[in-house]
Chain A
Amino acid sequence: MEEGGVNVIDLTQADESFVKELEALGADELRECIQCGKCGATCPMALAGLEFFIKRIVHAANLGLRDILLEDSSVWGCQSCNRCVEICPMDIKPYEVIQAIRRAAMKVESCPANTYEGLRNLYRFGHAVYPKGYEERRKKVGLPDKPPTVISNDEMRKKFQEILRNTILEEIAPFPLD
């Protein structure tokens, strides 16, 4: 992969500790995968044509191909639809492998920009999705400008932020938590 466009994956560069890291991050049945391909036949990522989809991702994870997986944005295209979890014959819960890889990626700040945007919104406003101009839309249907959520309650918002500050977000957020 590093050899200037030469398309060979060097397994010697694989990192065995990556498998253990993923297991610790929730993919604890990862190694039982026998690559039967059932998830790959149902995964929206595969059906939509992403290069790395669930079956390939699980295999690459098992081989310890940390760099390849963290550099590729495919895991961030997972819909979390959980259909793979529902049908996996080995019950390895493939979606949890995706989550584990995302968690590993976040630790080294290797994720698409919109992931940070969602996190920043979540922390700042209490809502990951926080589009502009919503007040107008709400008015149109006769609802108050702001919904009765954390967005219209400063005291609760601060408490929610305190909760987030007590999670791993405190360590890895690439923006100030204040």
Chain B
Amino acid sequence: MKKIGFFLGCNIPFNRPDIEYSARYLLNELGYEIVELEGASCCPAFGTMPSLDLVGWAAASAWNLTIAEEKGVDIITGCGSCYGSLNEARYHMEKHPEIKEQVNKILAKVDKEYKGTTKVWNFINFLYEDVGLDTLKAKIKNNLNGIKCAVQTGCHNLWPSRAYPTNEDNTFFPTRLREICESIGGVAPHYSTITDCCGMGALRSTASEKSLALFKKKLDVIKQEIDPDIAVTGCSSCLLQFDAGQALLIEQKKLDYKIPALHIAQLAAIAMGADPEKATAMASIPLNGVITKIKGGN
């Protein structure tokens, strides 16, 4: 059985444990043994150590990477920030051996050493490359029945491409998440603002209204161009914006339509037979209609 280290981060275990539930279910169904990364911390988030110092950032990331290294596993994360922060830290340490050296001096104080042997995956690239679309298709229990998906890969899952071990052929025209959705029975057309930022993250905490306005602009284009049944994200932060952020817009009467949203781990888990109740437990925008469609209703 293939092993994979599941890196939780913060938002998934604390704010959206339904993603954690789904991811665990999905990985098991796909035949992976989940290795717990005991003692793993925050990636760290971009507004914390990365905004203080490059070595401090790399040291905190390396802490997490060494936990997986010691267990001899690669890492998978459902959060774009975690994917970006861990990979960028790796990149800086590879590119600048002196940073790696400084980091290892710090790690030595707790008897650890960063080697650089662990690869960091996100769900999109993992499903696309390690699992493979054929395997995915073969393991479906609930076909998506042609529900129309608006995909949101997420900025951190695309850029900076120099730091990433694998990526889209054209990061400005991402297709992997679309192909994944289609392999499990959905329809996932391209739309013109597919790579636009959702507005979640530092912008949301610094200028909430502007962040939501930016998000609404994107939503309007999605609605107008493809009018989907559901939005599917590759990043947990994007999901927070697409779900809770959308609910806020509705509450503020700034939006007169609803697009339910799920993380790809959730949608794929449902396709693999996960309990939809649990898999979507924290969703603010109700998914009843989508679930009914998947189950063959109208």
Instruction: Report A's interface with B, CB cutoff 8 A.
Output: 26, 44-45, 47-50, 73-74, 76-83, 85-86, 93, 95, 99, 102-103, 106, 111-112, 114-115, 118-119, 122, 126-131, 134, 137-138, 140-143, 147-150, 153, 155-157, 159-160, 162-164, 166-169, 172
B residues with a Cβ closer than 8 A to A are 8, 10-11, 13-15, 17-18, 20-21, 36-42, 44-56, 59-60, 63, 81, 84, 106-107, 109-110, 112, 155-156, 158-162, 171, 195, 197, 199-203, 205-207, 210-211, 213-214, 278, 281-282
Given the contacts A118-B47, A126-B41, A44 and B14 also touching, CB distance less than 8 Å: no
Q: Which residue of A lies closest to B40 (CB)?
A: A149
- Neighbouring A residues of B161 by C-beta, 8 Å: 86
Assembly CA distance A163 to B108 (angstroms): 9
Query: Is B207 touching A50 in the complex (CB atoms < 8 A)?
Result: yes
B156 — which chain A residues lie within 8 A by C-beta?
Answer: 80-82
A143–B278 alpha-carbon span in the complex (Å): 10
Measured between beta carbons, the chain A residues less than 8 angstroms from B158 are 86
Contact of A163 among B53, B81, B109, B171 (CB under 8 A): B109
Q: When A26-B54, A80-B202, A122-B41 are in contact, do A167 and B14 touch as well, CB less than 8 Å?
A: no
Q: Measured between alpha carbons, how far is A32 from B110 in the docked complex, in Å?
A: 41
What are 18 residue pairs bridging A and B, where the CB atoms are less than 8 Å apart in the complex? Answer: A44-B199, A73-B206, A79-B203, A80-B50, A82-B159, A86-B160, A95-B160, A115-B47, A122-B45, A137-B14, A140-B282, A141-B20, A141-B282, A147-B8, A160-B39, A163-B60, A163-B107, A168-B55
Contact residues in B for A130 (Cβ distance below 8 Å): 10, 14
- Chain B residues within an 8 Å CB radius of A86: 158-161, 171
Q: Given the known A-B contacts A115-B51, A119-B48, A168-B55, are A138 and B41 also in contact in the complex, defined by CB atoms under 8 Å?
A: no
The answer for the CA separation of A55 and B127 in the assembled complex, in Å, is: 37
Interchain CB contact under 8 A, A166 and B106: yes
Q: Report whether B203 and A134 are in contact in the complex, using a CB–CB cutoff of 8 Å.
A: no
Q: Which of B17, B21, B54 has the most CB of A within 10 A?
A: B17
Out of B39, B109, B110, name the residue touching A150 (CB < 8 Å).
B39
With A141-B21, A168-B53: A118-B45 Cβ-Cβ less than 8 Å? yes
Question: Which residues of B are found within 8 Å of A112, using beta-carbon distances?
Answer: 205-206
Q: Which residue of A79, A127, A150 is within 8 Å of B201 (Cβ)? A: A79
B56 contacts which of A80, A115, A118, A167 (Cβ < 8 Å)?
A: A167
Among B49, B162, B203, B282, chain A packs the most CB atoms within 10 A around the CB of B203
Closest B residue, CB atoms, query A93: B160
The contact of B38 among A131, A156, A169, by CB within 8 Å, is A156
Decide if A48 touches B14 in the complex (CB within 8 Å). Answer: no
- Taken together as a complex, chains A and B put the C-alpha atoms of A37 and B16 apart, in Å, by 38
Contact in complex: A103, B202 (CB < 8 Å): no
Q: Are B55 and A48 in contact (CB under 8 A)?
A: no
In the complex, how many angstroms separate the beta carbon of B141 from the nearest chain A beta carbon?
A: 19
A147 touches B159 (CB 8 A): no
Contact B51 A137 (CB under 8 A): no
Q: Given that A115-B47, A141-B21, A148-B36 are contacting pairs, would A106 and B84 also be in contact in the complex, using a CB cutoff of 8 Å?
A: no
CB distance from B162 to the nearest CB of A (A): 8
CB atoms of A137 and B48 under 8 A apart: no
CB-defined contacts of B110 to chain A, threshold 8 Å: 159, 162-163
A149–B13 touching, CB < 8 Å:
yes
Separation of A41 and B36 alpha carbons in the complex (Å):
42
A12: shortest Cβ distance to chain B, in Å? 30
Asked if B159 and A85 sit within 8 Å, CB to CB, the answer is yes
Contact check: which of A111, A129, A172 meets B42 at CB < 8 Å? A129
Q: Assess the A79–B197 pair: CB atoms within 8 A.
A: yes
Decide: B42 and A131 in contact? CB cutoff 8 A.
no
Question: Complex Cα distance A64/B44, Å?
Answer: 29
Contact (Cβ within 8 A) A172 B52: yes
Given contacts A78-B203, A149-B41, A167-B55, 14 further A-B contacts (CB under 8 A): A47-B197, A76-B206, A81-B201, A82-B155, A86-B158, A115-B51, A138-B17, A141-B20, A141-B278, A148-B36, A163-B107, A164-B59, A168-B52, A168-B53
The smallest C-beta distance from B90 to any residue of chain A, in angstroms, reads 15
Nearest opposing residue in chain A for B62, CB measure = A163
